[in-house]
């Protein structure tokens, strides 16, 4: 069975990137990334390719141009999700590529958390994905509508749906975001129902408990990340094990989520107003007038601080890496020189 490139999500944006000297190469979409190979989808089926860049440069959902053996070139992606990787060494880690819609999954219970939703919304805005808030387990909540209203109030551009992930008909309300070659990525804390949604959307029966391995902290999380077809002709990227999502280089996304504060701040008397006790502060005025919650200002500041700190530590690490490479090259050159070669 063959399927069209557009059914795989190919569009003009990618076609335009193909250079005349690449006419011999064929496009393929990355379904899985392994250290030494990529599993890719082509109109004729699945292929294994040898990467030509470090594995960390690829993300599930990427488009590559290949010759049947090597992924010769990775095309520039749209809807690029990335985060600051956890650990001692700071770097920006790609999570998923060419994502049309980011499904932000939260359940209607203790997991529901406004700052976390705002964090995911900032990520979606910065990546250029359409945000879709999916509130699971409404059947277990006393008043799911209050969660829905709180989520909806975060932005007029956002769609929020309360969906019982165990109910096939209810899950069908997500079909408009995963048909016609469109890609939906699901992001959310462990246990909120991502696997349950995935099984309904794809007709697969990925185990909700068994495909797990211990991570460093001894907690259980699903580990594989892949691009899988939905029953309705779209694509789903499950991003398991994303307990903690640290933002980096998303200041544009944060500004979008807090655009009301950004435009208020632009009317403060001082350009560098810290919105504390400065005279003529439009933000403090709005708080006093009751049109702005002080908490929202705090959440904005907190995300901005986090983003700035993470972006800076990633930049420092990049600079260190660069310096190290330079030093190694310098040493090798000196050695060559000494040995008279």
Ligand X SMILES: Nc1nc2c(ncn2[C@@H]2O[C@H](COP(=O)(O)OP(=O)(O)OP(=O)(O)O)[C@@H](O)[C@H]2O)c(=O)[nH]1
Q: Taking CB under 5 A as the rule, does residue 273 contact Zn ion?
A: yes
CB of 151 to ligand X, least distance (A): 15
The annotation status of 194 as a binding-site residue, yes or no, is: yes
* 242 lines the binding site for Zn ion (CB under 5 A): no
- Helix-helix angle 294-338:282-289, to 10 degrees: 150
On whether 138 is known to bind a ligand per the annotation, the reply is yes
Contact between residue 194 and residue 105 where contact means Cβ atoms under 8 Å apart:
yes
275 binds Zn ion (CB under 5 A): yes
Which residues on neighbouring strands pair with residue 130, listed in sequence order?
Answer: 101
Closer residue to ligand X in complex, CB, 130/242: 242
> Which residues, listed in sequence order, are joined to residue 71 by a DSSP beta bridge?
51, 66
The annotation status of 189 as a binding-site residue, yes or no, is yes
> Residue 221 contacts by C-beta under 8 Å, 6 or more apart in sequence?
190, 212, 213, 215, 240, 241, 243
Partner interacting with residue 103 (select from Zn ion, ligand X, none; CB below 5-8 Å by kind)? none
Number of residues that bind Zn ion (CB under 5 A): 5
Interface with Zn ion by CB under 5 A: which range of 5-13, 58-66, 167-175, 266-274? 266-274
Q: Report the residue from 268, 297, 303, 314 that binds Zn ion according to the rule CB under 5 A.
A: 268
190 is in an annotated binding site: yes
Residue 264 interacts with Zn ion (CB under 5 A)?
Answer: no
Residue 159 site contact among Zn ion, ligand X, none (CB < 5 to 8 Å, cut-off depends on kind) = none
Query: Is residue 193 marked as binding?
Result: yes
Q: How far apart are CA 192 and CA 186, in angstroms?
A: 11
Q: Which of 324, 314, 250 has the alpha carbon at shortest distance from 91?
A: 314
90 binds Zn ion (CB under 5 A): no
**Taking the complex as a whole, how short is the minimal distance between the CB of residue 104 and ligand X, in angstroms?**
12
325 labeled binding residue: no
The DSSP bridge pattern shows strands 38-42 and 235-238 to be unpaired
**Strands, E, within the chain: which ranges?**
26-33, 38-42, 45-51, 63-66, 70-74, 81-84, 92-96, 101-107, 130-136, 159-163, 183-187, 212-214, 220-222, 227-229, 235-238
Q: Could you say which DSSP state residue 167 is in?
A: -
How many angstroms separate the CA atoms of 135 and 219, rounded?
24
Is 232 known to sit in a ligand binding site? Answer: no
Rounded least distance, CB 149 to ligand X, Å: 18
Nearer to ligand X, 111 or 306 (CB): 111
- Selection from Zn ion, ligand X, none that 194 binds (CB < 5 to 8 A by kind) is ligand X
Minimum CB separation from ligand X for residue 200, in Å? 10
Applying CB under 6 A, the residues found at the interface with ligand X are 136-137, 139-140, 164-166, 188, 190-196, 208, 221-222, 240
Task: Indicate the residue among 204 and 278 with the shorter CB distance to Zn ion.
Answer: 278
Cα–Cα distance measured from residue 238 to residue 229, given in angstroms and rounded to the nearest whole number: 11
118-146 as b/e: b if 16+ CB within 10 A: bbbbbbbbbbbbbbbbbbbbbeebeebee
Query: What's the token pair of residue 85?
Result: 């990787």
Picked from ligand X, Zn ion, none, the partner binding residue 195 (CB below 5 to 8 A depending on kind) is: ligand X
Which span (119-127, 206-214, 280-288, 315-323) binds Zn ion, by CB under 5 A?
A: 280-288
Using CB under 5 A as the binding rule, whether residue 286 contacts Zn ion is answered as no
Residue 268, marked binder: yes
30 labeled binding residue: no
Reference 226, options 175, 197, 186, 192; nearest CA is 186
Binding site for Zn ion (CB under 5 A): 268, 273, 275, 281, 283
Which residues contribute to the annotated binding site for Zn(2+)?
268, 273, 275, 281
Binding-site residue positions for GTP = 136-139, 188-196
């Amino acid at each position: 069975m063959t399927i069209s490139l557009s059914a795989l999500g190919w569009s003009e944006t990618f076609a335009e990137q193909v250079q005349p000297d690449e006419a011999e190469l064929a496009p393929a979409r990355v379904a899985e990334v392994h250290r030494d190979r990529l599993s890719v989808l082509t109109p004729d089926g699945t292929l294994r390719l040898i990467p030509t860049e470090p594995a960390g440069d690829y993300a599930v959902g990427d488009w590559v141009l290949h010759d049947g053996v090597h992924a010769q070139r990775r095309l520039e992606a749209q809807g690029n999700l990335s985060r600051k990787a956890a650990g001692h060494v700071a770097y920006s880690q790609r999570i998923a590529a060419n994502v049309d819609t980011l499904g932000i999954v939260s359940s209607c219970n203790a997991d529901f958390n406004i700052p976390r939703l705002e964090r995911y919304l900032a990520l979606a805005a910065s990546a250029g994905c359409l945000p879709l808030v999916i509130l699971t387990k409404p059947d277990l909540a006393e008043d799911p509508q209050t969660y829905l209203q709180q989520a909806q109030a975060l932005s007029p551009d956002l769609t929020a749906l309360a969906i019982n992930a165990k109910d096939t008909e209810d899950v069908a309300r997500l079909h408009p975001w995963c048909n016609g070659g469109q890609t939906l990525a699901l992001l959310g804390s462990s246990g909120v129902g991502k696997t349950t949604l995935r099984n309904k959307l794809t007709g697969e029966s990925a185990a909700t408990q068994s495909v797990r391995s211990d991570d460093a902290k001894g907690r259980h999380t699903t580990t594989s990340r892949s691009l899988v077809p939905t029953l309705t002709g779209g694509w789903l990227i499950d991003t398991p094990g994303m307990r903690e999502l640290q933002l980096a280089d998303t200041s544009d996304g944060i500004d979008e989520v807090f655009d009301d504060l950004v435009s208020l701040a632009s009317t403060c008397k001082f350009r560098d107003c810290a919105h504390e006790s400065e005279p003529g502060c439009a933000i403090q005025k709005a708080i006093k007038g009751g049109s702005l919650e002080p908490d929202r200002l705090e959440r904005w500041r907190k995300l901005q601080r986090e983003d700035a700190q993470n972006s800076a530590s990633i930049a420092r690490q990049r600079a260190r890496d660069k310096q190290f490479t330079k030093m190694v090259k310098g040493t090798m050159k000196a050695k060559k020189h000494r040995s008279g070669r």
